[in-house]
C-alpha cells in the first residue's frame, strides 16, 4: 500500500487513545493530589493556618500553560485526523450509497447495483452519499466513519478494508419507525474476487426472479418487506398473493384481494391504498418499468 495512504482507522484510533490517555492521567493525578491534601492537611492535623501566602505566579503560569498546550495538542491531532478523513486517496474505487426509509442500496460506476457494499481488500473506496427521502447517517463502526446523508446535499466518506470480512452499516440518524432495522453490510473480499463479482454478467435463466431481485436491490424493498413471513415495517411478501387485505383508499376503508391488479397498483403508486396497520410512507419507485413490475408480481406469486 502507498506510504501516504492511511486508513480511517489509523486516523481516528490514535487521536482517541491520546485524548483518553491524557484525560486518564489528569483524572488519576488530580484524584491522587486531592487524597494527599485531604489526608495531610486535614483540620485535626493542622487546626490553624501556618502560611499567609495568597498566590504563586509560577503556579498560575504552570496550570495555565500546561492545559493550553494539552488542548492545542488535542486540536492538532484531531484536525490532522479530520483532514485525512476528508481527503480521498487518488485512485479510490467510486461507489454510491443510496439511503431510503429503511434500507441501503449501492451503485457502481459500471451500473451494477447491490443491497450490500462489496469492496476489495486493501484498496481505498469512496462512498458518495445520497438520500431519497429524509436525513440518514452512514455509520460503519469497524472503519470509524460516520457521515450524515442529507437530501439534496453532496457528501462522501472513504475507507480501506484491511482484511476480508463482513462489517455492519448502521443509520446514525433517527429516520422513522424502521430506523433500528436499517442495517446494511460491507463485504470485503480479495481484489480478484471483487473484480470477478463486479464484472460478472447476469444470466438469462434468472428471468423474472433475477429481475425482481434487481428491483429489490435498486429500490431497497427488502428493507421494509420480508420474503419469509417475518414482521417488518411493511407487509411481508410471503403468502400475500391471493390473500384478503384491509386497506384505506381515498379515506375509506375496504377489503381487497391481493391479485395482479392490486399488486401492480401497490408497486407503482403505494400511497393509493394504505394497508391497515402499516405507516403510509413507502415512496413511489421512480423509473420502474412495466417489465420490472410484472417480474416483482410474479416473484410474489411464488411466495406461498
Average pLDDT over residues 167-181: 89
Distance CA 150, CA 292 (A): 28
Residue written as cell 493556618? 49
The neighbouring-strand residues paired with 129 are 97, 155
Contact (Cβ atoms closer than 8 angstroms) between residue 293 and residue 264: yes
pLDDT at residue 206 is higher than 60 = no
Distance CA 235, CA 67 (A): 57
- Look at residue 208 in the predicted model and tell me its pLDDT: 65
Q: Which domains does the chain have, with CATH numbers?
A: 8-44+55-86 (no CATH), 93-199 (2.60.40.420), 204-301 (1.10.760.10)
Q: Taking the complete model, does pTM exceed 0.85, yes or no?
A: no
DSSP secondary structure letter of residue 261: H
- Look at residue 229 in the predicted model and tell me its pLDDT: 84
Pull the grid cell for residue 304. 406461498
Distance CA 138, CA 136 (A): 7
| pLDDT one-digit tens code per residue, 274-293 | 888 887 777 777 788 888 88
| pLDDT one-digit tens code per residue, 113-124 | 888 899 999 999
Distance CA 120, CA 187 (A): 9
pLDDT at residue 66 is higher than 80 = yes
| pLDDT one-digit tens code per residue, 124-155 | 999 999 998 899 999 999 999 999 999 999 99
Q: What is the mean pLDDT of the chain?
A: 86
Worst-scoring range by mean pLDDT, 74-78, 126-130, 221-225?
221-225
Distance CA 17, CA 127 (A): 27
Residues in the chain: 304
Q: 137: which residues sit within 8 A by CB, 6+ positions away? A: 146, 147, 148, 149, 170, 171, 172, 173
| pLDDT one-digit tens code per residue, 238-271 | 888 888 989 888 888 889 888 888 888 888 888 8
Amino acid at each position: 500500500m502507498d506510504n501516504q495512504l492511511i486508513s480511517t482507522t489509523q486516523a481516528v484510533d490514535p487521536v482517541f487513545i491520546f485524548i483518553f490517555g491524557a484525560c486518564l492521567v489528569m483524572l488519576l493525578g488530580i484524584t491522587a493530589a486531592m487524597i494527599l491534601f485531604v489526608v495531610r492537611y486535614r483540620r485535626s492535623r493542622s487546626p490553624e493556618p501556618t502560611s499567609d501566602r495568597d498566590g504563586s505566579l509560577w503556579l498560575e503560569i504552570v496550570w495555565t500553560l500546561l492545559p493550553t498546550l494539552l488542548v492545542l495538542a488535542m486540536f492538532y491531532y484531531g484536525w490532522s485526523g479530520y483532514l485525512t478523513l476528508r481527503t480521498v486517496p487518488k485512485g479510490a474505487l467510486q461507489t454510491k450509497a443510496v439511503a431510503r426509509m429503511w434500507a441501503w442500496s449501492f451503485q457502481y460506476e459500471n451500473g451494477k447495483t447491490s443491497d450490500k457494499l462489496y469492496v476489495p481488500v486493501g484498496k481505498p473506496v469512496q462512498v458518495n452519499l445520497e438520500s431519497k427521502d429524509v436525513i440518514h447517517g452512514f455509520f460503519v463502526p469497524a472503519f470509524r466513519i460516520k457521515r450524515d446523508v442529507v437530501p439534496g446535499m453532496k457528501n462522501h466518506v472513504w475507507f480501506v478494508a484491511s482484511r476480508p470480512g463482513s462489517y455492519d452499516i448502521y443509520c446514525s440518524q433517527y429516520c422513522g419507525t424502521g430506523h433500528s432495522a436499517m442495517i446494511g453490510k460491507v463485504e470485503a473480499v480479495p481484489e480478484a474476487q471483487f473484480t470477478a463479482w463486479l464484472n460478472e454478467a447476469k444470466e438469462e435463466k434468472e428471468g423474472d426472479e433475477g429481475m425482481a431481485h434487481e428491483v429489490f436491490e435498486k429500490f431497497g424493498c427488502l428493507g421494509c418487506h420480508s420474503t419469509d413471513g417475518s414482521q417488518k415495517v411493511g407487509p411481508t411478501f410471503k403468502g400475500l398473493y391471493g390473500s384478503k387485505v384491509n386497506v384505506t383508499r381515498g379515506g375509506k376503508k375496504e377489503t381487497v384481494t391481493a391479485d395482479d391488479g392490486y399488486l401492480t397498483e401497490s408497486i407503482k403508486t403505494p400511497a393509493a391504498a394504505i394497508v391497515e396497520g402499516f405507516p403510509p410512507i413507502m415512496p413511489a419507485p421512480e423509473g420502474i418499468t412495466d417489465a420490472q413490475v410484472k417480474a416483482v408480481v410474479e416473484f410474489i406469486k411464488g411466495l406461498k
